[in-house]
Amino acid sequence: SLVSLRQLLDHAAEHGYGIPAFNVNNMEQVKAIMEAAAATDSPVILQASAGARKYAGEAFLRHLILAATEAYPQIPVCMHQDHGTSPSINVRAIQSGFSSVMMDGSLKEDGKTPSDWDYNVRVTRQVVDIAHACGVSVEGELGCLGSLETGTAGEEDGVGATGKLDHSQLLTDPNEAAEFVKQTQVDALAIAIGTSHGAYKFTRPPTGDVLAISRVKEIHARIPNTHLVMHGSSSVPQDWLKIINDNGGDLGETYGVPVEEIVEAIKHGVRKVNIDTDLRMASTGAIRKFFNDEPKKFDPRDYFKQTIKSMSGICKARYEAFGSAGNA
Ligand code: G3H
Ligand code: 13P
Ligand code: NA
Ligand code: ZN
């Protein structure tokens, strides 16, 4: 059944676990996530970006997610708008039936230029007023996702700030977080701690100077009753990276957020953990390998089946590691 983000995260906080929020664009991703959730008895957050709605089309995306609730009636599912960059995108999502939205006012409406405090508070508060009147939850964001190694949003374009970011923008301030939550009344707060979107987060396995789990602890100590959200939380699995690179891909050497660091953050208030890149990598790795191994096959179901299997393996591992398994 469709539930709000607030319902899921309140339960997660009460029982001290985190829930991975996977991005979805197509049927295979939805199936992989739901199969894994059913196998581990985990609640589910399916999130769709504006780009996902553009790719699949509003009706297909909505029905894919509703199909998940119909096929798995025992699993609670939150249908979440990821990175709504304007109030109007979020209102459109609410109209479309989403049970949760993200007003990302950390960037201006172009999704690239860092915004100021007043803008962020104003648009977020506006969305909270509308969403709460409809029983829909709201995630806000304070601080800019980006690399403490390079001072940029990361190598991927599309999602995130362009240009140089300074240290104060890349690490959410605990006192400002408290004031932001008070002024906006968001249900969950995305914070910046050195992670970035995409496959190129860290040039070496991250240490505390570039992945500030300590900042999570400081923010949680200041606002213990606020559900924290980590974006850019793919772990960039080295086994899938190798399969991709061994089968004609060229992603080079790169590192993500180690699962054990996320588990540590979950002990300090992180309840929603956004993951997109890991499923993209598992999917691409499975297809590249299949094409290399099975040159005579051409039924798309044969290789899409492999992507469901590979993505589902990652989902299961995250449900178990984050502790949401057994809590559906
Ligand atoms: O926030 C970023 C997610 O990975 C969504 O990416 O805008 O390419 O769908 P996308
Ligand atoms: P990754 O690129 O690390 O998977 O992050 C996804 C995300 O934060 C979606 O909002
Ligand atoms: Na989100
Ligand atoms: Zn994100």
pLDDT in tens, 260-291: 999 999 999 999 999 999 999 999 999 999 99
| Domain ranges for the chain | 5-322
Index of the ligand 2 atom closest to the CA of residue 275: 4
For residue 226, the model assigns a pLDDT of: 98
Index of the ligand 2 atom closest to the CA of residue 83: 10
For residue 156, the model assigns a pLDDT of: 60
Q: 222 CA to middle of ligand 4, Å?
A: 23
CB 314, CB 307: distance < 8 Å: no
Q: Which segment of 87-91, 111-115, 218-222 scores lowest on mean pLDDT?
A: 111-115
Quickly name the fold that domain 5-322 has. TIM Barrel (3.20.20)
CB 232, CB 197: distance < 8 Å: yes
Which structure tokens are listed for 99?
Answer: 């049970």
Provide the pLDDT confidence category of residue 162 given band limits of 50, 70 and 90: confident
Residue with tokens 């980006």: 146
Q: 296 CA to middle of ligand 2, Å?
A: 35
Phi then psi dihedrals of residue 139, to 5 deg: -105, 135
Q: What is the mean pLDDT of residues 223-234?
A: 98
Please state, as a whole number, how many other Cβ atoms lie within 10 Å of the Cβ of residue 158. Answer: 11
Give which of 143, 131, 266, 111 is closest to 185, Cα–Cα. Answer: 131
* Cα separation, 244 vs 250, whole angstroms: 7
197 is in an annotated binding site: yes
Res. 70: pLDDT tops 60 = yes
The residues assigned a catalytic role are: 82
Q: Which ligand lies nearest the alpha carbon of 159?
A: 1
pLDDT in tens, 11-56: 999 999 999 999 999 999 999 999 999 999 999 999 999 999 999 9
Residue with tokens 């409406």: 109
* Cα separation, 42 vs 63, whole angstroms: 21
Index of the ligand 2 atom closest to the CA of residue 201: 3
Ligand 1 pocket residues where CB is under 6 Å: 23, 49, 51-52, 82-83, 158-159, 197, 276
The residue to mutate among 139, 276, 281, having the most atoms of ligand 2 within 8 angstroms of its beta carbon, is: 276
